[in-house]
Amino acid sequence: MSTVLIIEPRSSGRELVTRAHELGHTVIVLSSATGPGQDQGKADRVITADTFDRAAALDLIRALHAESPLDAVLPGFEHFVSLAAHASAALGLPGIAPDGVEPLRHKHRMRRALDAAGLDQPRYRIVSGARSAAAAYAELGPVCVVKPVDQSGSLDVRRVGSGAEAVGAFRKALRSGRGNGSRGLGLVLVEEYVQGPEYSVEGYVEDGRVHVLAITEKILGAEPHFVEVGHIVPARLEARTARLIRSYTVRVLEAVALGIGPFHAELRMSARGPLLMEVAARLPGDRIPDLLRLACGHDLYEIMLRCYLGLPNPAPAGRRTGTRAGIRYFLRPGLDTYREFRVDPVIESDPRVREIGVLLPPGSALPDPGSSAGRLGYVLAAGASYWETAGVLRRAERAVTFS
């Protein structure tokens, strides 16, 4: 089979390594020695490198290719979409065009691309100082959202209701992600707060055509944070709403000019229609690809591999059942640590429950629950209907205790 290089597999990128191995590919992982997720599972070879040093990483990738030709270079996490794009171009392999990667990686450039395409979206301002952050709040308030331009996992995204809160959130967002090798861009977004249910759209682009595979319903934690605490695939939607979301997402993908591979677009259904929160050229996180396989039969891991290997994907099959798959994450605000994780035996033995696990082991110092890093554990379930799956997830949330 083929040899694939996966850069910094984290979140769904780890399962991508496993799936590539299962499909018979030789898997090489390029990863920082100090980054999270160093257990790379089914990788045939793990190479340590500073993946934030683009020039050095590209030199290393070229050397690997000269030693034994690579057939594909894939990003294993959102922060490395740009590096994978430049590496693929340098080696003459299928990939995202390097000169078009910025709107797919940086949220302020994404906003500008949608403006240029004439698409409706939340009003926004790009700010670089406390004074401009306060002025943006005064213009867009009384409620706004402040977010970093280059982070993921809801890190340092905050709803604010005053100028002072906007300035405080700006300062935190400006520092967001520093210390992991990223220097940051010195920019922050202040955006209109959009009311309405939140969804994500999962799919891929191949030969210039956008394929929407499913719409995911999001379950969010308490504001002022926007932590995703659950997902159900596919969402329960009226046909007209689903058509609006699909059509809008296709126009978003055209605006940001994604030419290849998977996408994950997050939006809210507002009174004036769907409005984009963000879009990424990568696999969705939070086990959504696994939910997609369980509920709809679409293997987004294999689809991504085939896209980057230059292999055609079969036309997506239509969904014929009412099966829904979902995941629920456990947040316990105010808990500093815990010693024991308990699950009600009734939930543990429920055949619709596929997995229950912890993300932060007993004895851990628990981080602030204001981002996905603060989630303690999860339950993954699949049922014959939306209501069945949603009910199992709700009961599991009550049946799990951390003490």
Domain boundaries, the chain: 3-101, 123-192, 194-316, 321-403
CATH node for 123-192: 3.30.1490.20
Give the pLDDT of residue 177. 59
At the topology level, CATH places domain 194-316 in D-amino Acid Aminotransferase; Chain A, domain 1 (3.30.470)
Q: Reply yes or no on whether the pLDDT at 35 is more than 50.
A: no
181 pLDDT above the threshold of 60: no
Rounded mean pLDDT, 130-142: 95
**Taking 70 as the threshold, does the pLDDT of residue 237 lie above it?**
yes
> What confidence tens digit (pLDDT) does each residue in 4-25 have?
999 999 999 999 999 999 999 9
Note the pLDDT of residue 178: 62
Residue 320: the pLDDT is 64
Three-state SS sequence of 107-166: HHHHHHHHHHCCCCCCCEEEECCHHHHHHHHHHHCCCEEEEECCCCCCCCCEEECCHHHH
Count CA within 13 A, CB hemisphere, residue 309.
20
Domains 194-316 and 321-403 in one fold: yes
Distance between CA atoms of residues 197 and 199, nearest Å: 7
393: pLDDT strictly greater than 80: yes
The residue to which tokens 């085939």 are assigned: 306
pLDDT at site 319: 64
**Residue 230: predicted pLDDT:** 96
CATH 3.40.50.360 fits 3-101, yes or no: no
Instruction: Quote the mean pLDDT of the chain.
Output: 92
CATH of domain 321-403: 3.30.470.20
For residue range 267-293, what is the model confidence (pLDDT) as tens digits? 999 999 999 999 999 999 999 999 999
Report helix, strand or coil for 400: strand
- Check residue 179 and give its pLDDT: 53
Quick one: average pLDDT of 235-246?
97
Backbone angles phi, psi at 364, to 5 degrees: -70, 150
Residue type (1 letter), 246: R
